[in-house]
Amino acid sequence: MTSGRTGLRLAACLLNISEGRRKDIVEKVARAAVCEDNGQEHLPATVLNIFSDYDYNRSVITIAAPVDRLGRSVVAACVEAFASIDMAEHSGIHPCLGAVDLVPIYPLSGVDVEECGTVARNIAETLVCRVPGCSIFLFGQAHLPEKQSLVQRRKQLGWFNRRAFNAVTVIPDIGLSPTLRHGLTGMT
C-alpha cells in the first residue's frame, strides 16, 4: 500500500560568486538566499555550506530547497551578489567571468537533470529582467538543444585563451552584452 506521497523533490545550487575576501558580502549573499527583503525566511530553502578562497577571491554557496522553490532563493542571492560585487575592481588568481560566475543546479531527490535545466533557464530569464546588465551563457542541461558541457562552452567563448579573452565582447545566450561591472554568468 502506498501513502500517495511522492516524497521530497529537492535540488541544490552551488552558487559561485566572485568574492572570497569580504566575509560580510559573502554572508549577505547567503542570507539573501533564505530571507525575504523584510528578513522573513524563505522556508524551506537553506544554505548548506559556504566555501571561500581568499587567493581565488571566490566563494561557493550551497543552497538547497524543494525544486519548485529553489529558483526564488537563487535569484535573490544572485541579485544581492550583482549589487555587491563589481568585476571592474575584482582581483584574484581564479579567472572568473562574472560577479555571479556559475550557477549550476543539481538534483538531490526526486528530480532529474532535465528539470534542473528548466529551473536554470527560468532563473536566467528572471535575472536578466531583474538585473540590468546581467548576461548569461548556458551549458549542460540548460543549453538546448546541444547540451554542451561547461568546457565546450568555455572553448566556444574563447575563455581558455586568457590573453585574448574579454567577457564584455561575448554575445550571451540570454541578456545583453556583458558589462564590466557584472561580467558574464554561466548557468546550468
The verdict on whether omega for the bond into residue 132 sits within 30 degrees of 0, i.e. cis, is: no
pLDDT of residue 36: 72
Distance (Å, whole) CA 164 – CA 3: 59
Q: What is the pLDDT along the chain (188 residues), one digit of tens a residue?
A: 344 446 789 999 999 999 999 999 999 999 999 987 666 766 678 999 999 999 999 999 999 999 999 999 999 999 999 999 999 898 887 777 899 999 999 999 999 999 999 999 999 999 999 999 899 999 999 999 999 999 998 888 877 666 666 766 788 999 998 998 999 999 99
Residues with Cβ < 8 Å from 155, sequence gap 6 or more? Answer: none
CATH number, domain containing residue 175: 3.30.990.10
Per the domain annotation, does 51 fall within a domain? yes
Read off the C-alpha cell for 1.
500500500
Read off the C-alpha cell for 54.
581568499
Read off the C-alpha cell for 185.
554568468
Per the domain annotation, does 156 fall within a domain? yes
Per the domain annotation, does 4 fall within a domain? no
80 with 63: CB under 8 angstroms?
no
Query: Helix/strand/coil (H, E, C) string of the chain?
Result: CCCCCCCCCEEEEEEEECCCCCHHHHHHHHHHHHECCCCCECCCCEEEEEEEECCCCEEEEEEEEEHHHHHHHHHHHHHHHHHHCCHHHCCCCCCCCECEEEECEEEEECCCHHHHHHHHHHHHHHHHHHCCCCEEEECHHHCCCCCCCHHHHHHHHCCCCCCCCCHHHCCCCEECCCECCCECEEEC
Per the domain annotation, does 112 fall within a domain? yes
- Domain of 112, in residue numbers: 10-187
Read off the C-alpha cell for 10.
529537492
Per the domain annotation, does 3 fall within a domain? no
Distance (Å, whole) CA 165 – CA 38: 41
Per the domain annotation, does 107 fall within a domain? yes
Per the domain annotation, does 152 fall within a domain? yes
Name the domain count of the chain. Answer: 1
